[in-house]
Amino acid sequence: MTKYFFILFFWFQFSTAQNDSKLKDSLAFELCQIYGFDQGIRDFSLDFNRREIMPKIDTLNFNRVVSFVEQNGFPTRKLLGNRMDIECVGGAVIAVLLHNPHRLVNEQRYFDLFLNEVKNGNLPADFFATILDKYYWAHSKNKETRRVFYGSQFGKPCIQTKEATNLARLEIGLDALKDEDFVDCENEELNMPKQRS
């Protein structure tokens, strides 16, 4: 009887490992499809109306990423193993979020979804700030010296928004900035922070 128990136990373990590998392959394949769609539309050797089509594809990809994250969490090595080293797997969600920062800045539901991923340790807070700052950088009224709100790879925030910036940074799990981490934007009209709906 014990012999059969061990055989059954090892068969179950082997079967579970195979199912886990198939699930990881399936999730990785889904991310690669998203990445291919996201990057394919940006192939400038193709001739089509990008202004009309790109926002639609970006929206479709964003919705697919949201669905993926709601079902599986933000892609991590724990979820996907070494498959995260494959460019299309590791880069899919990052690329889509950088192409859709307005959805996180303007819509509370999506901000909260990805903030929860930060709190769960799946999404680095500094990268979340980079995604959010991409919006402010792209929509800066000053196109010569673009402005940001959180402080990230896109630049330093304005000292004029210091209090709001530091509150926002604390909300997403980052430390408050010191005065030297800001720039003086003088009398510029700043379009930040945005209120989410």
The tens digit of pLDDT for each residue in 164-184 reads: 999 999 999 999 999 999 999
Quote the percentage of the chain above a pLDDT of 70. Answer: 90
- pLDDT value at position 187? 86
- As a whole number of angstroms, the distance between CA 141 and CA 9 comes to 64
> Domains in the chain: how many in total?
2
Domain that holds residue 8: 1-99
Last residue of a domain, one of 78, 99, 120: 99
**Count of alpha carbons within 13 angstroms of residue 163, beta-carbon side:** 0
Cα 91 to its chain centre, rounded Å, is 10
**Domain match, 117 and 67 both:** no
Instruction: Tell me the one-letter amino acid at 163.
Output: E
Top pLDDT among 109 and 44 is at 109
Q: Among 101, 103, 65, 79, which Cα is nearest to 24's?
A: 79
For 51-93, write each residue's pLDDT tens digit. Answer: 888 899 999 999 999 999 999 999 999 999 999 999 999 999 9
Last residue of a domain, one of 41, 70, 99: 99
**Domain match, 46 and 78 both:** yes
**Domain match, 70 and 163 both:** no
3-state secondary structure of 183: strand
Of 45-49, 123-127, 149-153, 183-187, the poorest mean pLDDT is in 45-49
Q: What count of other Cβ atoms lies within 10 Å of the Cβ of residue 91?
A: 19
**Domain match, 39 and 88 both:** yes
Instruction: Tell me the one-letter amino acid at 145.
Output: T
